[in-house]
Structure 1
Amino acid sequence: MSQSGSLSSPSKDSISMGTNSLTGTENLPRDFSRLSLFSSTSSTSQEEQFRCEGHAEHSLSCMKHYLQTEKLCDVVLIAGNNGKRVPAHRLVLCAASEYFSAMFTGSLRESEEFEITLGDVNGEVLQAVVNYCYTGTIEIREDNVEILLATACLMQLRNVVEACSRFLAQQLHPSNCLGIAVFAEHQACTSLLQEANAYTSQHFMEVIRNQEFLQLSVEQMAILLSSDELNVSSEEHIFHALMSWIQHESQSRKPHMARLLSLVKLPLLEPSFLVDQVENLINHDPECQKLIMEAMKWHLLPERRTQMSGARTRPRKATMGKLIVVGGMDKNKGATTIECYDPRIDSWTVAYHMSGRRLQFGIALMGEKLLVVGGRDGLKTLNTMECLDLETGTWTLLSPMNTHRHGLGVAILGGPLYAVGGHDGWSYLNTVERYDPITRSWNYVAPMTSQRCSAGVAVLNGKLYAVGGRDGASCLKSVECYDPHTNKWTMCAWMSRRRGGVGVAVANGYLYAFGGQDAPANNPAASRFDCVERYDPSTDSWSTVTSLTSKRDTIAACLFGDRLIAAGGYDGSRYLQSVEQYDPITNEWTTLASLLTGRAGACIIPISNNTNQIN
């Protein structure tokens, strides 16, 4: 190519002289539209989306430099606390904060002002917040977190609010959790308030030993005592905490005694405690006396508890203890795990393991000892009784029954343990045995009127009830009760349905029967029920209440707190994990956390909070 047709870089002279030539020559055409920059053979349009990495960071860095040198600043913020002046750029503040966006882009007076004073704002914190708008970083310390959080709330810097809330949540301690909760409520920091309240509830017994607790206002004390989440093993601790708070400033606080005492669940305290402790400390206040009388009636008139039930008779979650579900049939032909339910966190965990495979057994609790009675191991029917020490988790053998039994019912009545009916591997049983924990021996008592296997067995008003079950020919709707004083069984009103594999439990002076099946012996897959019946011993009659959420039999049932629990079961095709609780007052079922393992024919029983093995 000839030199005259080449392209060269523009010379300094040509640029400085403002020449129209790129090369300083006259050889190129002046009409650039005649130049082609792309291949003439290309059939598609060429394009590229260019993105400069770090552009936003670089731009903010430049803005921060302008801030530091106070160039192009169009507003000065003045801290009302100490008069510190902080220059800034409105655009940056608006981009980072909805508070400043509303201030500068609306019709507020401040949108036209160069200098703006911000109320009760600390100068150093204001400077830190403005720097955050440029850098996205801010230092949170113990000595600035409260005022920083308050300022961030004012300026609607959500990320800073969340960071400060997390910082304070990490500092929660029994000595400061109440104060942090009050501060969080004042600043409308919902997440921090929830964490502080949860911490206070969990560590209540430690919280009440700190000065913050004694300095609570009446309203704050009322809110605290109203919580059913307080982690106490007994309502006695709540009463003692209240009295400690009142005595701290007795003259000004005693007038509020009745109001606050109404938030203590007095009916759930032992009668001896009511007389020896509560009554001695209330100074004959008539309103307090009414509360004590109400509590005494709860104990004296158990048959009227349905009418007397309310907030004061509903136990706090922690005082209810825990539930354990033992064994049962599962998809592996026999669950050996023992699951434990904690109502405070609504979850199940594996707490123990059975000593071996055992199905269709019964359980009872004597102190901290769980007794597992009878059943079958898959090959033969058992007469053995094992004892699980809930403290140590160890198993021991106790005296065996006189009769091998599976599908039996078990209950404690007046101290002794009763084993009712069942099947011995050959025939259905009507015999009943009683175990004396003092002599550690079994003896027969009067037999039932009917043979019963897989019946529901429960204790109500000092009598032992056997409900439904199967007699070999069919499922039963008959019910009979045993009086230990006369050693006799008498027939009661029958249920409206035949129920084999029925779950039973007692609440507020009534006996409840859950689910079950009415399957003929030659067709065990036939009908299962979701219906629930309630027996009133005062009228010897059954009535229907709200049904379970699903049809099932072999349900594990018990009373837990003031609710009835129905766990697991079999619906004809699946071993169920579902757990429901029934509120006798509202006549409603609600769902709880599911079992870890679906199981049918399991046994369920509440245990106290004193069991260290699972705390």
Structure 2
Amino acid sequence: MASGGMMEKISDDPEFIYMTDNTLKYINKNHKKVMAKMYDYKCDIKLKVGDAKFKAHKDVLSEASDYFGAMFSVDMREREQKEIEIFEISPHGFSALLDYFYHGRVSISPDNIEDVIEAARFLHVEWILEVSCDFLVRHLSLENYDTVLHLADFYSLGDLRWDISRFLGENLTTLIEEPRFYQNLSFELLLNFLKENIYVEMSEGYILKIVLDWVHENYDARQKYLPRLLEHVRMGMLELEELDRLPDEVLDIPEVSKEVDEARRYICSMTTQSLYTSKKYLPRGSRKVLTIMAASEEANGTIVLYRDAKTPGICQEELSPRGLDTEVEFTSQATIGNFLYIAGGYDHQYCSSNRLFRFDPRYRDWVELTPLLQKRVSFAMCSSDTALFAIGGIHHMIHGEDDEEIILSSVEMYEPEENCWKPLSPLPHGSYDQAAAFVSGSLYVSGGISSDPVDPVPLNYFYRLKVDGGTWQPLPSMLHNRQGHSMTPVNGKLIVIGGRTAHDVATISDCLANEMYDLATHQWTEITPTPPDIGHIFRYVDILDGKIAFLASHDGHQYIYFYDTEKGKIEPGDYCGREYTRVTTLQVSYPSAQI
């Protein structure tokens, strides 16, 4: 019976060279060079394994294997023996490991793979187990999927199904060209691949073609599997033309036909797509990441960084500006579902704008939607699951050589279902540069700068509006006056971070104090302050992996930070660059390697 615990997942792709089509030589770059020579006159131990005998050096065996390290320790009787016998493994497996002990390499083929795994597990050589898993995934999984899963289970290698599906996805465009690919591909592997959320460099339409081609490779035997396979094809990611060309064998399956009809509605109703949240409408490999956008005049939304919660480092992607015809830098933003909306800002004449654009992370493009009722800039914007809200701001106009600014109190709501804006109850007074959040049917607005000449500095005002009716109601004021801050709902609390504060118009500075409002007790509480060396915090934040992510600028350089609300701790993240001011969380599909 195999021994040992579950093996950890392979961290990096191992280095190997092909000896033949089916034999790989794996090389451990970190293997400590051994000065002793195999079978030289200094060998001080003989080993009998099955019918074979080997000679080796105790110190080499002890260095390479925890098993031998324990055997030749001070308290073990084998320490003084000149010959030992090992019954639990085969000579072929031990021979392969002995070569690795001395040279840092091992050759693996379908003929010796189980012997190598058996010996590595028994002798506690983790690196050999890792490369054995790699070999199983690369060279045996497509033709012998069940056998690979059996070996992984028997020798406690862990669940390799995800690794096998990932390998299939990463190499699918090459593998489908092999003559026996469809013949050798098992139903279990194909089904598991479709179930997993694996990044693939091909469209969902091509994935569907692969499913149909696999069935037609042996139609009489495989036709019965078609409904179960199609259940995991993402019909919402097909083009409308592809849906129109679906064969009868697909449409004759009632459950699939229903999904196709829903996919048609999804595609044809562009404005409501943000209301669909199933993974069926996401590309394969989509994962929740911080999407950090450069909003300078030069970049204007075309350079984006992605930051995965589970993978250190940042990926950068340069996008086409297609569909985006506004200055991103001065717009306000919010998300519904997996779509980013930006609105307002300035037009090309530096007058306030009422334009609304939506970013689709699936295709990395923008589309313009119904404009705001009121042109506005420097306004608060937030969202519910089904609507956008625009609150206050400034209407900036130019009349010849004269500028005019009107501080707004108007509030409006956009519903994708109707693709239109409608007015809500206005604020008690005009204000701009506020923060807003939506929680449980109510809008909350805090801070900003008022149109009231008595209050020309940042406010600590705090109001609530029930969206389904009524007027704005005052709530306990914030502990600190501030503008340009963020306000984030987290577990029944509103977390307020950053912004600027002042006691008079001449002393505006970064607000280092942060605070939290309890929606149940209606009380404000001081929370962890911002360290001064972080610099200015930008107003757009979002939540990733339970932590509030925000951007801060120090000496013109932008960095990501995370506020852990449970621990009350601000954690440093990564360096971004000089032009990044906006962050949001979206489900994005991109390769594991940096773009």
Q: Give the TM-score normalised by structure 2.
A: 0.59
How far did residue 122 of structure 1 move?
1.7
> 2:564 matched to 1:582?
yes
SS of match in other structure, 1:553: strand
Contact 2:537 2:550 in 1 (8 A): no
Q: Provide the rounded CA distance (Å) in 2 between the counterparts of 1:145 and 1:410.
A: 59
Residue of 473, 490, 498 corresponding to 1:490:
473
> 2:542 matched to 1:558?
yes
Residue of 93, 98, 103 corresponding to 1:125:
93
The one-letter code of the counterpart of 1:574 is G
The match for 2:408 is: 429
The one-letter code of the counterpart of 1:140 is I
SS of match in other structure, 1:576: strand
Q: Provide the rounded CA distance (Å) in 2 between the counterparts of 1:435 and 1:597.
A: 33
The match for 1:78 is: 48
1:12-48 CA-to-partner distances (Å, cap 9, x unmatched) read xxxxxxxxxxxxxxxxxxxxxxxxxxxxxxxxxxxxx
SS of match in other structure, 1:580: strand
Residue of 516, 522, 543 corresponding to 1:534:
516
How far did residue 446 of structure 1 move?
2.8
The match for 1:88 is: 55
Residue of 488, 498, 501 corresponding to 1:505:
488
Contact 1:60 1:135 in 2 (8 A): no
> 2:334 matched to 1:364?
yes
> 2:527 matched to 1:545?
yes
The match for 2:110 is: 142
The match for 2:427 is: 448
User: Among the aligned pairs, what percent are the same residue?
Assistant: 20
Q: 1:336 to 1:409 in 2, by over 3 A?
A: farther
SS of match in other structure, 1:457: strand
How far did residue 78 of structure 1 move?
2.0
SS of match in other structure, 2:538: coil
Contact 2:356 2:372 in 1 (8 A): yes
The one-letter code of the counterpart of 2:379 is L
The match for 2:215 is: none
The alignment yields a C-alpha RMSD, in angstroms, of: 4.7
Q: Provide the rounded CA distance (Å) in 1 between the counterparts of 2:374 and 2:154.
A: 66
Alignment gaps of 5+ in structure 2: 1-32, 170-185, 200-284, 397-404
Q: 1:117 to 1:493 in 2, by over 3 A?
A: same
SS of match in other structure, 1:407: coil
The one-letter code of the counterpart of 1:405 is R
Contact 2:379 2:394 in 1 (8 A): yes
> 2:389 matched to 1:418?
yes
Q: 1:399 to 1:164 in 2, by over 3 A?
A: closer
Q: Provide the rounded CA distance (Å) in 1 between the counterparts of 2:168 and 2:459.
A: 50
Q: Provide the rounded CA distance (Å) in 1 between the counterparts of 2:551 and 2:161.
A: 33
Q: Provide the rounded CA distance (Å) in 1 between the counterparts of 2:34 and 2:497.
A: 66
Contact 2:343 2:357 in 1 (8 A): yes
Q: Provide the rounded CA distance (Å) in 1 between the counterparts of 2:35 and 2:572.
A: 55
Q: Give the TM-score normalised by structure 1.
A: 0.57
Residue of 393, 405, 417 corresponding to 2:376:
405
SS of match in other structure, 1:480: strand
Residue of 273, 282, 291 corresponding to 1:324:
291
The one-letter code of the counterpart of 1:553 is I
> 2:449 matched to 1:470?
yes
Q: 1:353 to 1:428 in 2, by over 3 A?
A: farther
The match for 1:343 is: 309
> 2:182 matched to 1:199?
no
How far did residue 444 of structure 1 move?
3.6
> 2:583 matched to 1:599?
no
Q: Provide the rounded CA distance (Å) in 1 between the counterparts of 2:450 and 2:520.
A: 28
The match for 2:352 is: 381
Q: Provide the rounded CA distance (Å) in 2 between the counterparts of 1:591 and 1:132.
A: 42
The one-letter code of the counterpart of 2:542 is C
1:304-355 CA-to-partner distances (Å, cap 9, x unmatched) read xxxxxxxxxxxxxx9984443445459x696543444433435544565552
Q: 1:161 to 1:344 in 2, by over 3 A?
A: closer
SS of match in other structure, 2:431: coil
Contact 2:138 2:167 in 1 (8 A): no
How is 1:36-51 mapped onto 2 (pairs within 5 angstroms)?
none
How far did residue 433 of structure 1 move?
2.8
Q: 1:527 to 1:344 in 2, by over 3 A?
A: same
How many matched pairs? Answer: 432
The one-letter code of the counterpart of 2:560 is S
Residue of 514, 517, 535 corresponding to 2:500:
517
Q: Provide the rounded CA distance (Å) in 1 between the counterparts of 2:427 and 2:488.
A: 20
SS of match in other structure, 1:449: coil
Contact 1:410 1:457 in 2 (8 A): yes
Q: Provide the rounded CA distance (Å) in 2 between the counterparts of 1:349 and 1:197.
A: 27
Q: Provide the rounded CA distance (Å) in 2 between the counterparts of 1:107 and 1:460.
A: 66
The one-letter code of the counterpart of 2:291 is I
Q: Provide the rounded CA distance (Å) in 2 between the counterparts of 1:324 and 1:462.
A: 27
Contact 2:137 2:167 in 1 (8 A): no
SS of match in other structure, 1:151: helix
